[in-house]
Amino acid sequence: MSQNRVLSVGAEFPAFSKKAVVSLERDQEFRTITEQEHRQNDQWLVMFWWPKDFTFVCPTEIAEFNKNYDEFRDRDCQLIGASTDSEFVHAAWRRDHDDLRGLRFPMLADTSKSLAEELGILDTEERVAYRVTFIVDPQGIIQWVSVNGLSVGRNVAEVLRVLDALQTDELCPCNWKKGEATLSV
């Protein structure tokens, strides 16, 4: 049995060029996304992965990230959702699911599973991505990784809390929240 080796803090986020669903408007549905976009715009990147489209836990997370889209944008952060499903499956799911029609961030399609494999986040049995969230700094270095099993949804508020803490470039104590004092050395 093979083991996952998830890329972790301090590693450079891998190069990628993937199709993504960015709209439901005819002839404007798809665009190629690369890891260079956030770097060229001097932005942070939050990329979150889910196992499969047309499932039950996944849309609850995707909808919650979408509700908080402006929070990520206010933090100068590019938000990308991803799975190993195709861009056509993503588009069909968005059209089919009420909570996904108005998404404001791209749904990346890693149909070759090459990016998920390089990130070390593929379930060895089903060959689908775990529920993984990466926070990547503007230089392309991973600063935070959170991995959930296939059946447990993540906490978007915690992703924002950690992003806030990382952006302070200070020492932040347990349960620290934006606006609270950081630690002095």
- Could you give the angle at the alpha carbon of 112 between the alpha carbons of 155 and 13, nearest 5°? 55
Cα separation, 37 vs 24, in Å, equals 22
**Dihedral (C-alpha) 134, 140, 142, 144: value to the nearest 10 degrees?**
-60
Provide the 8-state DSSP code for 15. Answer: P
Q: Which segments of 8-155 does DSSP mark as H helices, in order? A: 36-40, 58-67, 69-74, 87-96, 114-119
Q: How far is CA 90 from CA 33, 84, 100, 114, 125, in A?
A: 15, 10, 10, 18, 22
Buried residues in 31-49 as b, exposed as e (16+ CB within 10 A): eebebeebbeeebbbbbbb
Catalytic entry in 58, 77, 172, 174: 58
Q: Is 1 helix (H, G, I), strand (E, B) or coil?
A: coil
Cα separation, 132 vs 51, in Å, equals 9
Q: Is 172 a catalytic residue?
A: no
What amino acid positions are annotated as catalytic residues? 58
